[in-house]
Amino acid sequence: MKQIKKLVTLLTALVLCLVPLFGNTMTVNAAGNTYYIKYVEDIQQWRFLPNPWSEGGYHRELYYMQLDLKDGDVIVVDDKDTANTITLEVNVNLSSLYVNTASISNITAKSIENCYIIENGKSIINAPVKNAYVYDQALGQFNSDVENLEVIASKGDVLHATVGSNGGVKHLKAYSSKLHYEFYDFAPGALSIVNGELKSTAGTYSAAPSAPVVSPAPAAPSTPAAPSGEYDDVPKTADVRFNPLWLMALAAACFAGSYALKKKD
């Protein structure tokens, strides 16, 4: 009976030692995977690779991406060199979506945490969006509600983006190095920005928020999501790395537990 109690005690110590280790592993998995989608001219099809893209990589059919996608994943659609449209429907909640397409991309998801339409990208977004960023001369049409929308001139001092929404927009902020405007509570279908100029009808939005608004963190330089570097100026998913100190702590704690049991003998 004493031997059984000792065994249970030792196993309990081992489990407690392993909790931080597996907790860290789950954090890494929760960060989500990144899928890079691009049009491959040689076969005239849209294909994907796990990020980053490689021209010489094994480009797989989008069907297989659909099988692997899960909530919290990231999608990059980059095809600024061709005029090929894409209609993409994913039945998950995306952590981030990056779009830079020469022709219109039509993208549907359950929801999107952060949506970036970059440079000259053109996209129709069919999903509720928490934070949307439309850059430079991009064109964005949002067909569901947007919580925070930022229209940004990252190159030059003039706003050029064109943005519309069939849903409501809780908070709009548009800015360049010389211009800034900010409005709130756009009625469904009311938001209209043409070449950087707000065209919404007076009375369909407010100059002050009806409730406190929490703005997302500003975009900051980061490691590019693609070799081309178009994504340097937008925030990326945090890179959570395994800490080797957990192994040292694990070994020390388990050794201490074993030594304590021997002393009791």
pLDDT in tens, the chain (265 residues): 445 444 434 433 433 343 333 333 222 233 689 999 999 888 889 999 987 777 777 789 999 999 999 999 999 999 977 789 999 999 999 999 999 998 999 999 999 999 999 988 999 999 999 999 999 999 999 999 999 999 999 988 999 999 999 999 999 999 999 999 999 999 999 999 999 999 999 999 999 988 776 666 555 333 334 334 444 445 443 333 333 333 344 344 444 444 444 444 5
Q: What pLDDT is recorded for position 104? A: 93
Distance CA 128, CA 227 (A): 29
Q: What pLDDT is recorded for position 217? A: 55
Handedness of CA 220, 71, 47, 149 (dihedral sign): negative
State the residue for tokens 């509720």: 128
In three-state secondary structure terms, 74 is: strand
In three-state secondary structure terms, 224 is: coil
Per-residue CA distances from 181 to 159, 171, 175, 196 (Å)? 11, 11, 7, 10
Q: What DSSP designation does 131 have? A: E
Distance CA 150, CA 222 (A): 18
Q: What pLDDT is recorded for position 210? A: 82
Q: Mind giving me the DSSP string for 9-70? A: HHHHHHHHHHHHHHHHHHHHHHT--EEEEEEETTTTEEEEEESSP-TTS-PEEHHHHHHH--
- Residues 174 and 150 sit within 8 Å (Cβ to Cβ): yes
Q: What pLDDT is recorded for position 214? A: 64
Q: What pLDDT is recorded for position 27? A: 26
Q: How many CA atoms lie within 13 A of 234 on its CB side?
A: 28
Q: What pLDDT is recorded for position 28? A: 28
Name the β-bridge partners of 117: 99, 134
User: pTM (2 decimals)?
Assistant: 0.71
Q: What pLDDT is recorded for position 222? A: 35
Q: What pLDDT is recorded for position 58? A: 76
